[in-house]
Amino acid sequence: MPRARAFHALTALVALAALVLQLVQVVKGSPVLADAHPPGLVDRILRFFAYFTIQSNILVLVTSTQLAQDPARDGRAWRVVRTAAVSGISVTGLVHWFLLRKLLDLHGADYVADRMLHLAVPILAVLVWVVLGPRPRIDWGVCLRTACWPLAWLVVILAQAALTGWFPYPFLDHRTHGWGHVLVVCLGILVLFFAIFAILREVDRRLRAAPPAVTGS
């Protein structure tokens, strides 16, 4: 238990540091992926929280903080939130690595924040989940409820992109690629989510319970 608390706390601290550093850069006016010309402060902060990367890191921060207090935490709603954190941060890392990494030219604190949000936190969060759990926690019912979050995110982001012209990621730029391309990309993201759900469920089912169940004497 002490080891589990320590690693969950470490994950939470790294996620917190990444989020704070990126927020500071956004407040200062540093450009992020789709903001070559940053808007006013209020809009910058609103857009900061609209990024899927930021939301998935926040979920990692929240659930890891709770697990640092109780590594065996459980509950019907909590299982959905924890599965959202692990699956969401996995998608964040994969999409960044394969689709976005080469588009960025960041330096200094912007570079550090980017690497923390997209690489350090995803790797740490997934490894800690594999080693320390908690599990078993994931079934298809949990996965289907978890899927409501990325689906709702896509609907809201596409709606506001149509209204305002702003999009958080280049592959959602309907003006350049057309709505057909964007919808295909969105479908691909949802397929990726369900592939990750299947992997998480299988790992959750096959590995031994963590933390180990406490039996009476």
**Inside any domain, residue 166:** yes
Q: How confident is the model at residue 205 (pLDDT cuts 50, 70, 90)?
A: very high
**Inside any domain, residue 215:** no
Number of Cβ within a 10 Å radius of residue 106: 16
Residue 214 has pLDDT above 70, yes or no: no
| Dist. CA 212–CA 47, nearest whole Å | 41
Separation of first and last alpha carbons in the chain: 19
**Inside any domain, residue 211:** no
Per-residue confidence (pLDDT) for residue 50, from 0 to 100: 94
Number of Cβ within a 10 Å radius of residue 179: 12
**Inside any domain, residue 106:** yes
- pLDDT tens for each residue of 81-94: 999 999 999 999 99
The strand pairing partners of 143, in sequence order, are none
For residue 212, report the phi and psi dihedrals to the nearest 5 degrees.
-60, 145
Cis (ω within 30 of 0) for the bond into 2?
Answer: no
Residue span of the structural domain in which 74 resides: 2-206
**Inside any domain, residue 214:** no
**Inside any domain, residue 212:** no
**Inside any domain, residue 200:** yes
Please count the structural domains in the chain: 1
Cβ proximity of 63 and 81 under 8 Å: yes
Q: Residues 6 or more apart from 160 whose CB is under 8 A from it?
A: 50, 166
The conformation of residue 135, written as its DSSP 8-state character, comes to B
**Inside any domain, residue 217:** no
Lowest mean pLDDT among 82-91, 100-109, 138-147: 100-109
